A = this chain, B = another copy of it.
Amino acid sequence: MIRIIVTGGTFDKRYDEIRGQLSFDSTHLPEMLRLGRSRVETTIETLMMIDSLEMTDEDRARVARSCAQCAETRIVITHGTDTMVETARAVAEVVRDKTVVLTGAMVPYAFGSSDGLFNLGSALSFAEVLPAGVYIAMNGQHFAWNAVRKNRQTGVFERL
């Protein structure tokens, strides 16, 4: 059983056709799991639905508390890429004896050409088999939370 904690990010951005802007509504996770024909037992918890550039310390504390307090010992967090590493650190300070994998997308799932479906399959798989620890799964790779940074120019996560 894997808990999926949704926080928003590019993953879940959609196009508001009346206002002509990017926006958030409900999460695409259930649709993505159905499309991927996932048979992994999951519980989805939408904790917040925000751009990760707007995430406060208090928001990160809420994410860490959810990880610590939930019954599951294997957790996937969907998160904006810009501050994913900061949230991973906040989780690592609090959570022990659980496998936590943060993932996201560079292109919104709703925009058809997304890396989101690929990353979701990847993150769930890492969460199933990696030992306890806090990881980031992007671009088909996994990184320990304290050994990675996002390259803002290329949009790629790099090992430190």
Contact = CB atoms under 8 A, between A and B. Distances in A.
B118 A35 contact: yes
B125 A40 contact: no
A81 to B, nearest CB: 9
Contacts of A123: 125
Contacts of A22: 21-22
Interface in A16-55: 17-18, 20-22, 32-33, 35-40, 51
Interface in A78-114: 82, 106-108, 110-114
A133 to B, nearest CB: 12
A125 B119 CA distance: 10
Contact of A40 (B113, B120, B139): B139
Given A125-B121, A142-B128, A115 B36 contact: yes
A41 to B, nearest CB: 10
Interface in A119-152: 119-126, 128-130, 137-142, 152
A83 to B, nearest CB: 12
A76 B58 CA distance: 42
A122 B119 contact: no
Nearest to A42: B140
Interface of A: 10, 15, 17-18, 20-22, 32-33, 35-40, 51, 82, 106-108, 110-115, 117-126, 128-130, 137-142, 152-157
